[in-house]
A and B are shown apart, each in its own frame.
Chain A
Amino acid sequence: MINLKIDGNQVQIGSGATILMAAEKADVKIPTLCYLKKVSPTGACRICVVEIEGADKPMTACNTQATEGMVVTTQTEKLAAIRKQIVELLLVNHPLDCPVCDAGGECDLQNICYDLDVATQPFMAEDVNAGVIDKWPLIQQVPNRCVMCEKCVKVCHETVGSSALFISERGDKAFIDKDLSLCEFCGNCVSACPTGTMISKTFKFKARPWELTKTSSVCTYCAAQCQVDINVKNKQVYRVTSKDDVTVNDGNLCIGGYFGYGYINSEKRLTSPQVKSGGQMQKADWSEALSTVVDKIKAIRDESGASALAGLSSPRLTNEENYLFQKLFRAGIGSNNIDSEARFGALRVQKILNDKLGLKGASHSISHIGKADAVLVVGSDVTAEAPALDWQIEAACRSKRDGKLIVANMRPVKLTRHANTPLEYKPGSEVALVNALSKLILEKGQADEAQLKDLVANFDEMKAHLEKVDVKAAAESCGLSVDLLEEAAGYLGAAGSVALIFGGDICKSKNAEQSIAAIANLAIVSGALSGEAGGLFPVDEKGNSQGLIEMGAYPEMLPGYQDYAANKATFEKAWRATLPADGKDALGILEGIEKGEIKFLYLAATNPLVSFPMSNRWRQALEKVEFLVVQDILSSDLVALADVVLPGASFAEKTGSVTALDNRVSCLSKAIPCVGDAREDWEVFGEIYMRLVGKSDCPDSDLILQEIRELVPVYEGVCFAGGGHGQICLKSNFEIKPGQLQYTAVDAAPAEEGLQLLSGKSMFHFGTTSTFADGPLSVVDAGYVEINSDDAAAVSIKDGDRVKVSVGDASVTVVARVDDCYRQGILFAPYHFADANIQGLMPGVQNRVAATLSKA
């Protein structure tokens, strides 16, 4: 500890702290402009100068380390004069366009002028500022408003890790420039900008900051669930912001959170119920629409039995909504034919991790990633799937600590460029790779065998199995060198704490179960599951998959991971209903429709035509099913297929809780009323349920929560206190009891050769809603396929050409993005765009398939 005196106050602070940190501790306010707590100090503005006894020159508090016995003075006439003069200089040629500047009212330069009493302008200089930069998507740069604090540059480089921003030119002509190819369009530069230099184009000229009402809520675009403030004027969402320091995401957002809100007020919103009449969709009132649905449910049930009805729920819905949805089907309708797109990834992960490790969700809070000594990201473009995890990785391995980063994927992703060890494996060789890492760690004596003996039920089997793993053969199968595998294993083995992150490229693949089991094994061997840092982090790109699973919106389990058959009686008692014996999962439902056994399908906030593999088969099924209810927020191809359309609400329009991938439960707040006649989805489910069971009052959300707490053990201790930042709760912590961990002997399958089409999440789009938001659309507005230059050359395709991607008889035509940075043999295509219909090429529950390429 260091002892120093600031303005006469004795302060004690940890070694390495700056004078500014010490002053903060002593409650001494030193004016700053370029200081941003979450990044390294820049020392650009010089406004925080202080006098230090024994030093002739004033020194900047933000980047001068406090030393023992230091005596600091923060307010003197000399310092006041320096500070004032610096601000006067900053104002030379600063345009007087505050009335039309977006930052007006929340501008640090305005504030500091006011604080330091800067009212005159003694200096002048030729205005050599660069012109306004308007050519970037989403962000406008106005150089003459810039104070060159570099907050944007630092956030971009340190927090986000994209390093797109830099200073161009010298002297007073210098301005912040950008390498567009690196930009993630996260908007963190805009939020960090203390003036109106970096401007959000989606917000520009729309509202003054003081007109906006901020409602604290949670972004549900991805499963990291950042805390946000929804900024509203006249019942419209004008922007989404987040606060530094007080939020789990430290004020950082991604393109989805910051620029992706446009769909909320989109013209394509479904604003009133519609009912098909005479082959045409007609507007209807709620009563009519709900009656039609309820009557149809009853009619089909009477005619064909409850098992002729099925429903698909959604990770876009809240916990309460998913709870109500499954209750509606099981208790209200009497059918257990319920599932969701979690079937194609998240559920597989959940089952294996729960079975083998007793793990429900991630093992730890995502902040544990930021403290890990080594991070392995395998089969995930985590920057796209859950950007907040990327920021944690940046902190662990780049900007704050010296953690080692291993990025294993069949294709290069953003994080590959930061990796200590990049492991670009051949598609299908995941198990070989992960098994080899486990083996090497154990073989080199880097695993804590004593602890493993205690925790792993089948320790001897584990040792025996790993002993048999042939590292050389594994390396060959992966197309990697043994040295590289040894290096990666060495980093993981030597690390005091390990974070393992895996995602869509593994979880949605054909043989996902084997890969996931191998990763669970590696989590055991590497010690990732215990300790104060690191952990195991399965990533599903969708916002509330975790909550959906925990609410039991799938046939095998009742809410709270309670086996359906075993716990049916409990729920029958609680719900005063008789539950069906069994139910169909998504594939069963699909087949059921095809066979004519299922006649009624309820799609709740989900679009199989875009996000489900085999989307063409789903389209045929939706066309065939006798009665289709579509409850959604945006108009899509589904509307034309529906018999009844029920308009639901976006996250900004509803209350309810959601559960992040790391078990954080937070509550949404209603920032705006539902658009048009739309209703919160839970109200719709509740109403239908009530009508079916013959009651009149719809339960309110408190009652639902009460019921969840009583029936869902994992939520027993969770307090649902409503929206806002202060009310985050965690489900109970992951604790490992002796013998709890189960090693799974999985063996590697051969890697696959030849051109492979991989579908997945784009960095710039989220599910099926961001394609209705102007922001993300201005970066990527249509589907495409990424092709390696050599693969493209082989079929004479150039960047920008339209290409035909074929799988068997099916094919799609999309724009080619050709670059030598893409991996040879892999055609990556984002799935979000309905027109591109990439998912139509998937012949089964998988995200990768052998494909051929030709010029369209």
Chain B
Amino acid sequence: MSQVVFSSWGREVVDNRQGGETDLASINLKLAESYLDQGKVSAFIGWDGIILLDRETDVVALAAEYMKRVQEKHCCAKCSPGKRGTRVLQDALARIVNGEGKEQDLASIESVATLLDNCKCTLCMTSAIPVFDAVKHFRNDFVAYINGEKKPKTAKFYKDRVTAPCIDRCPAHIDIPTYIEEIKERRHDESLATIRDYMPIPAVCGRVCPHPCETGCRRALVDEPVSIMVMKRVASDHEWLHHKQPPMVPKPPTGKNVVVVGAGPAGLTCAYYLALEGHKVKIIEMLEEPGGTVAVGIPDYRMPRPLLRREAEIIEALGVEIEYGVKLGQDVSLRELKENYDAVFLGTGAFKSKPMGVEGEDQGYDGFSEGGIHYLRAVALGQGMVTPKRVIVVGGGNTAIDCVRVALREGAEDSILVYRRTRAEMPAESYEVDDAEEENVQFEFLRNPTKLIVENNKVVGVEVIKMELGEPDESGRRRPQEVPGSEYVIDCDMVIPAIGQDPDLSYLEDGDYGIEQTRWNSIVTHGGTMMTDNEGVFAGGDCEYGAMTVVLAVGHGRRAARVMNRYLTEGKVYLDADDAMEDMFNRFGVFDKNEVIGISGGLHREHQPKIDGAERATNYEEIELAMPESQAVREAERCLRCYRVGMVAVD
């Protein structure tokens, strides 16, 4: 573990220049010690200070280079102190490094750095912090330059990137502050274009994203987080509600052919970005419609399928061909794909339900569903699924919630969710649990099924045992424990287990493709490139990570497409600086939950109008209605534009 020479990160000064030892871990800094395989990280300069790992680092040159990049590459110029102030800083630092500095330049730097606290956003504002730290803690080095006693010693190279806590928390790393500002300015087309630079299915992610970004929203430290997800829907709705044609135009054809397996979020995303680069992309999809889990796992009242299909049509309009009803491992083998295409992307999802471990579940009884995901799919595709009067769904995740709510819409009079912990531990989004409750779903918490009760080969009930919560397990949630002898039977006509899904990788079994899998049955890829052990075969989404979110699949699909493009055009598989810095920041962490923002708040988060619970539970009409654009503007005005620039020095 690297030793810290100096750190002012987080306003905690660790100074070992005169001796002493502190390793990164001891001060909770998850800074990468090397930059890809290109060298050692000698220093990091960014929004919350400076970290030196190499005693030889020239902090004055580091600060000068940082401010030059902030001003010339990142400063948006949309506020007076930022636009001109960072230029004054850049020039003062450059003069010093060039041996033309004067003592009064230091005063000027300190004065302007202080003034930048009044910037419109945090980009220039936070960029002043490490510069201020440098002058404060390395004053002698500056004076040495000014006195002509020091010559610059630059690092082998520097890499910088702009980020924000929300951008970092979003697995697709969307440029959130920009698209929100564009909503604020009522530039919806531009906003959508910004989103599409990072994700091609905004109508989906504007509706059903669990929005991890919002857990990193600094506005929450003032009042409530910005409704980041809904802003995406606003931009996306604006386009189709105005009958506008998407403006994207692919680059000229490269002559390369790519096959994408699965038209789910990962596959669609990968296909979109590859098509924009001019590659010919074909998607094969086992279902008869696009969207994967989004189409058949998320009910239409949350994600109307016509909009999902529109997203796919937009991608097809870029020249992507989708062939439906083709299943990998059944209709075509991976070997054939490898032979016929220049690259392969696997986005096959996670469609295998986990077993409950309950007596009788493998007997094929009438009234026992194979799993929540299967139930939802059968309903979505209209495969003759008949839902009886009394349904029990087992599980506490989003799929379980979707199942109980769909069961109501399919005619169940009693739709009962059985979960072994309490409501507080449910992994489902709490607003969805609220929604289900409003629709009269019944909850049986602290209950676990033990046995199916069957008459004439038909399920008539389920035996459950009462549970109580013990000590927390590795996930941090309190472990449920059985209360001995508390078993009893809940009558029902149908049981749907919805306790999780795994990828079905059986298509890898009929031959040795040299693709490593994890013990959770997911595909292993390497170093953020999304490439498997088999060169030219990439994977992403649920089949790579295990059942996770749409937005993670999008992030995977985009990253894979970026790397595949390099593979196809340069024959090399690597991460560029944007990818590498994105990953570095992600490990380092950008959101500081203890930050004191220091502004006045009191502005509540705006919510979309919603159809009433009793009214909506009878149909599949979309529950959440479009937020009026002026309300979206008010919400967007709450964004603090928490941009910040980080830069590593590599030697």
Contact = CB atoms under 8 A, between A and B. Distances in A.
Interface of A: 16, 40, 42-47, 49, 52, 54-60, 63-65, 67-68, 70, 82, 85-86, 89-90, 92, 122-126, 128, 147-148, 150, 157-158, 163, 167, 169-174, 398-402, 418-422, 484
Given A89-B80, A90-B80, A46 B73 contact: no
B293 interface: no
A421 B243 contact: yes
Contact of A170 (B76, B186, B242, B633): B76
Contacts of A126: 87, 91
Interface in B618-651: 628-630, 633-634, 637
A67 B602 contact: yes
B88 A125 contact: yes
Contacts of A128: 87
A44 B80 contact: yes
Interface string B595-623: 01011101100000000000000000000
B74 interface: yes
Nearest to B68: A171
Contact of B80 (A55, A86, A123): A86
Interface of B: 71-81, 83-88, 90-91, 108, 111-112, 115, 117-120, 184-187, 241-243, 596, 598-600, 602-603, 628-630, 633-634, 637
10 contacts: A57-B599, A82-B118, A85-B81, A85-B112, A125-B87, A157-B185, A170-B72, A171-B83, A172-B71, A172-B83
B471 to A, nearest CB: 41
Given A43-B120, A46-B118, A46-B120, A64 B84 contact: no
Contact of A57 (B75, B242, B598): B598
B81 A86 contact: yes
A38 to B, nearest CB: 15
B506 to A, nearest CB: 44
Contacts of A43: 79, 120
Contacts of A484: 243
Nearest to A83: B118
Given A67-B603, A171-B72, 13 more contacts: A44-B80, A55-B598, A56-B596, A86-B81, A90-B84, A125-B84, A147-B80, A169-B77, A170-B75, A171-B86, A172-B87, A173-B72, A419-B243
A44 B79 CA distance: 4
Contacts of A67: 600, 602-603
A80 B118 CA distance: 13
A518 to B, nearest CB: 24
A300 B90 CA distance: 85
B599 A45 contact: no
A401 B598 CA distance: 32
Contacts of A418: 242
A556 to B, nearest CB: 44
Contact of B88 (A44, A55, A70, A89): A89
B88 A402 contact: no
A422 B243 contact: yes
B242 A420 contact: yes
Nearest to B627: A402
A170 to B, nearest CB: 6
A399 B77 contact: no
Contacts of B88: 89, 92, 123-125
A422 to B, nearest CB: 6
Contact of A46 (B80, B596, B600): B80
A299 B222 CA distance: 89
A49 B120 CA distance: 11
Nearest to B185: A157
B630 A401 contact: yes
Contacts of A172: 71, 75, 77, 83-84, 86-87
A736 B602 CA distance: 47
Contacts of B599: 55-57, 59
| 4 A-B pairs closest in CB distance | A56-B598, A174-B77, A172-B87, A67-B602
B333 to A, nearest CB: 44
Given A170-B75, A398-B186, A46 B81 contact: yes
Contacts of B77: 148, 167, 169-172, 174
A54 B80 contact: no
Contacts of A150: 78
Nearest to B69: A171
A148 B83 contact: yes
Contact of B600 (A40, A47, A55, A123): A55
Contacts of B629: 402
A398 B84 CA distance: 32
B118 A49 contact: yes
Given A63-B637, A82-B115, A125-B87, A420 B241 contact: yes
Nearest to A71: B600
Given A82-B118, A125-B87, A126-B87, A163 B187 contact: yes
B120 A171 contact: no
A59 B600 contact: yes
Question: Considering residues A52, A54, A122, A125, which has the most beta carbons from chain B within 10 angstroms of its beta carbon?
Answer: A125
Contacts of B72: 170-171, 173
A419 B244 CA distance: 9
A36 B88 CA distance: 28
B185 A85 contact: no
A122 B91 CA distance: 14
Contacts of A65: 602-603
A163 to B, nearest CB: 7
Contacts of A171: 71-75, 77, 83, 86-87
Contacts of B74: 170-171
Contacts of B112: 85, 89, 123
A550 B86 CA distance: 63
A40 B186 CA distance: 10
Question: Considering residues A86, A90, A169, which has the most beta carbons from chain B within 10 angstroms of its beta carbon?
Answer: A86
Nearest to B104: A122
Contacts of A122: 108, 111
Contacts of A55: 598-600
A124 B108 CA distance: 9
Contacts of B243: 419-422, 484
A167 B71 contact: no
Contacts of A42: 78
A157 B242 CA distance: 18
A170 B73 CA distance: 6
B185 A125 contact: no
A52 B599 CA distance: 8
Contacts of A174: 75-77, 83
Contacts of B596: 56
Contacts of A123: 84, 88, 108, 112
A72 B80 CA distance: 23
A85 B71 CA distance: 19
Contacts of A68: 602
A194 to B, nearest CB: 12
Contacts of B117: 57
B290 to A, nearest CB: 22
Contacts of A45: 79-80
A777 B200 CA distance: 45
A125 B108 CA distance: 11
A60 B79 CA distance: 12
Question: Considering residues A123, A171, A399, which has the most beta carbons from chain B within 10 angstroms of its beta carbon?
Answer: A171
A16 B606 CA distance: 13
Nearest to A402: B628
A31 to B, nearest CB: 13
Given A55-B598, A125-B91, A44 B187 contact: no
Nearest to A174: B77
Question: Considering residues B72, B76, B78, B628, which has the most beta carbons from chain A within 10 angstroms of its beta carbon?
Answer: B78
A163 B115 CA distance: 32
Contacts of A52: 600
A398 B630 CA distance: 9
A68 to B, nearest CB: 8
A46 B119 contact: yes
Contact of A89 (B81, B242, B598): B81
